[in-house]
């Protein structure tokens, strides 16, 4: 079988027993540590598809139910693949496919305004009730910050908001732009706790509607405005610009233009904070299954290409921080909650949809645990002196309760946010 030949001698951790559509059994891997998984393929066409396009075909086969996991579960299977990913991708055939995909990346990630609207609708205009099944109560749909091992998802998401607010160095009366504001949670947090005005923008009809409803319910209409608008269509100047989980939707061809717009929207003494998924390797392309089914047009940029775009924008990079395993823990909690509410998700959509989201959430967790994914926070300014010379302000400007919540304790120097 072609797929078995692709994996032969490349599974060094764990063991995969594969029963093909002809009933033949292939045992791959050794006796070393790692998951023991048995899968059954029920569609003969998978023999060829899994060999030619494994990154796409594995997810599709699980969605369609033609790849059945008979021993272990999906987490075990993806853990097995993830633990051996470097060796698998070292296969000449897989590496060739990755290189060909890389050659097409500028076309795949070209996101004019009309396409960005369509791509955002594909993912974010799902039923709001669906997102309530696995997100925290504030609907934070980005990497949380686990300051302590025992932090709940709600606490970790609150930690993240407090950390971002500290890096923005907010003062009462300032005007903040939130690019990609989601369901409005960060905008509401900043307005409530820092006495600032916030303009949030999103391209999602569903997100904008709920965010506006939340603003009204909180009685903050005088301080929070939600606009259905693309950042490229926005005018004005803002004291602070924040963007959480939106850079991944910009696409490599638009990175330089994005940072030029951020610089143009920022006041002369302003500060921006960009929070994004990134990759711990050179520029590449988005996993084909993720691009087709989850985030069309999406791309997690490498720091090298991100910083090159910043350097041409007129902005100074004043601080950078890498969060490594925080998103793996966030995704694990989302998966736990999704599984606990799986029947409700199935009632909203169908079994194929549930399988797709299981594969997405667990696959992304494995990418953060074993692959090339991380999260970075970049603090940017138009002037070098807009930010203090040391990071002590992160604790000095935060109330004592906020310092503890964000994991900074009460000492003069905060611990690394990258520590898990």
CATH number at residue 8: 3.30.1050
Task: Assign 357 to helix, strand or coil.
Answer: helix
How far apart CA 327 and CA 193 sit, in angstroms, is 25
pLDDT of residue 411: 43
pLDDT value, residue 91: 58
Measured distance CA(346)–CA(375) in Å, rounded: 31
Q: What's the confidence (pLDDT) of residue 109?
A: 67
Checking if the pLDDT of 376 tops 90, the result is yes
From start to end of 180-333, where are the E strands? 197-202, 224-228, 238-244, 266-279, 316-323
Mean pLDDT of 263-289: 94
Tokens 């796409």 belong to: 56
Predicted pLDDT at 137: 95
Using the predicted structure, report yes or no on whether residue 10 has a pLDDT greater than 80: no
Question: Within a domain: residue 180?
Answer: yes
Q: How confident is the model at residue 2 (pLDDT cuts 50, 70, 90)?
A: low
Is there a single domain that holds both residue 341 and residue 367? Answer: yes
Task: Indicate if 216 and 157 belong to the same structural domain.
Answer: yes
Structure-derived torsion over alpha carbons of residues 362, 122, 242, 335, reported in degrees to the nearest 10? -20
Q: Which residue has the tokens 């594909």?
A: 122
Count CB neighbours of 256 within 10 A: 16
The total number of structural domains that make up the chain: 2
* CA–CA gap between residue 170 and residue 186 (Å, rounded): 13
What's the CA dihedral at 200, 201, 204, 210 to 10 degrees?
20
Total Cβ atoms within 10 A of residue 33 = 8
Sheet holding 25-29, edge to edge: 25-29, 15-19, 36-41, 67-71
Q: Are residue 11 and residue 58 in the same domain, yes or no?
A: yes
Q: What is the mean pLDDT of the chain?
A: 88
Residues 321-346: tens digit of each pLDDT:
999 899 999 999 999 999 999 999 99
Q: Do residue 228 and residue 361 come from a single domain?
A: yes
Distance in angstroms (rounded) separating the CA atoms of residues 51 and 70:
21
Please write the tens of the pLDDT for every residue from 96-126. 555 656 655 566 666 677 677 777 777 877 8
Residue 53 lies in a domain: yes
> What residues are annotated to the active site?
364
CATH number at 308 reads 3.40.50.150
Q: Which of 103, 131, 151 is the last residue of a domain?
A: 103
Closest CA to 116 of 213, 260, 211, 258: 258
Sign (positive/negative) of CA torsion 125, 111, 263, 372? positive
User: Is the same domain home to 141 and 287?
Assistant: yes
Contacts of residue 367, defined as CB under 8 A and 6 or more positions apart, other chains included, come to 82, 373
pLDDT at 412 over 60: no
10: domain range? 2-103
pTM for this predicted structure: 0.88
Condensed to tens digits (0 to 9), the pLDDT of residues 20-59 reads: 999 999 998 876 788 999 999 999 999 989 888 888 999 9
pLDDT tens readout for residues 125-179: 788 899 999 999 999 999 999 999 899 999 999 999 999 999 999 999 999 999 9
Of 188, 191, 207, the C-alpha closest to 123 is: 207
């Amino acid at each position: 079988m072609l797929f078995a030949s692709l994996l032969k001698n490349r599974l060094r951790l764990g063991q995969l027993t594969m029963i093909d559509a002809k009933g033949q059994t292939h045992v791959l891997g050794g006796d070393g540590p790692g998951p023991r998984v048995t899968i059954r393929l029920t569609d003969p066409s998978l023999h060829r598809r899994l060999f030619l396009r494994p990154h796409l075909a594995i997810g599709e086969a699980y969605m369609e139910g033609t790849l059945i996991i008979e021993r272990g579960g999906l987490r075990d299977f993806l853990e097995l693949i993830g633990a051996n990913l470097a060796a698998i991708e070292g296969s000449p055939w897989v590496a060739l496919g990755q290189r060909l995909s890389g050659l097409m990346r500028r076309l795949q990630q070209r996101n004019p305004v009309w396409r960005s609207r369509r791509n955002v609708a594909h993912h974010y205009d799902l039923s709001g009730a669906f997102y309530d099944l696995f997100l925290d109560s504030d609907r934070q749909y980005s990497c949380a910050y686990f300051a302590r091992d025992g932090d709940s998802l709600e606490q970790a998401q609150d930690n993240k908001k407090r950390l971002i607010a500290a890096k923005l160095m907010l003062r009462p009366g300032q005007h903040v732009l939130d690019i990609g504001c989601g369901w409005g949670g960060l905008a509401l947090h900043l307005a409530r706790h820092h006495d600032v005005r916030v303009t949030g923008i999103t391209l999602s009809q569903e997100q904008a509607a709920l965010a506006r409803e939340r603003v009204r319910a909180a009685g903050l209409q005088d301080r929070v405005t939600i606009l259905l608008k693309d950042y490229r269509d926005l005018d004005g100047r803002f004291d602070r610009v924040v963007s959480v989980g939106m850079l991944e939707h910009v696409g490599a061809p638009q990175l330089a233009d994005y940072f030029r717009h951020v610089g143009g929207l920022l006041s002369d003494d302003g500060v921006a904070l960009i929070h994004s998924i990134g990759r711990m390797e050179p520029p590449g392309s988005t996993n084909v299954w993720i691009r087709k089914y989850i985030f069309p047009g999406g791309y997690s940029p490498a720091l090298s290409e991100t910083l090159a775009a910043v350097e041409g924008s007129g902005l100074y990079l004043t601080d950078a921080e890498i969060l490594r395993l925080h998103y793996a823990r966030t995704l694990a909690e989302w998966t736990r909650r999704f599984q606990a509410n799986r029947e409700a998700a199935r009632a909203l959509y169908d079994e194929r949809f549930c399988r797709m989201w299981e594969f997405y959430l667990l696959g992304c967790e494995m990418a953060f645990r074993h692959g090339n994914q991380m999260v970075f926070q970049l603090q940017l300014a138009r002037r070098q002196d807009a930010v203090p010379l040391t990071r002590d302000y992160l604790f000095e400007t935060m109330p004592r309760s906020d310092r503890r919540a964000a994991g900074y304790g009460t000492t003069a120097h905060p611990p690394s946010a990258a520590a898990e």
